[in-house]
Amino acid sequence: MNKPNKFLKLLLPKGNNTLEKESFEFYKGRVGSLASNIPDCVLENWIYRHYTCVVSDYSFLNFNKMQFTNEKWAKEDIYHLIKSFDDSWINNLDISFTNVTIRAGCKIICLNL
């Protein structure tokens, strides 16, 4: 397991991995100004919800210098252009959604269902 860098330590949700984890609204109010470069979608659905995995697998990334773009993709492009270590999750998508991709060097996908 990687150790969190100083910036990631600041983004640790209070009560992480407990039943008393702070709400995202409180979390965003507390860390939002520190992570102003990270869109709410990424902050909530990646860092807040999966903090332990983010630290374990991605702490080598320079989170405080990441840049993001908001892109609209056609559903067919998501099916055919996204490569994953496990393509079954893409192949099994049977939902309709607004296609929004947030990118930081690699693709981070936030689907608005």
- pLDDT per residue as tens, the chain (113 positions): 566 688 899 999 999 999 999 999 999 999 999 999 999 989 999 999 999 998 888 888 888 888 888 888 887 887 777 766 555 655 555 544 444 443 334 455 555 54
Q: Is 15 left (phi over 0), alpha (psi -120 to 50) or beta?
A: left
Q: What is the reported pLDDT for 89? A: 55
Q: Within 13 A of 72's CA, how many CA atoms are on the CB side?
A: 2
- Residue 10, classified by CB atoms within 10 Å of its CB into exposed (0-12), middle (13-18) or buried (19+), is middle
Looking up tokens 């979390």, which residue turns up?
27
Residue 35's nearest CA partner among 57, 56, 54 is 54
pTM, two decimal places: 0.69
Residue 59 CB contacts under 8 Å (≥ 6 apart), including other chains: 2, 3, 4, 5, 8
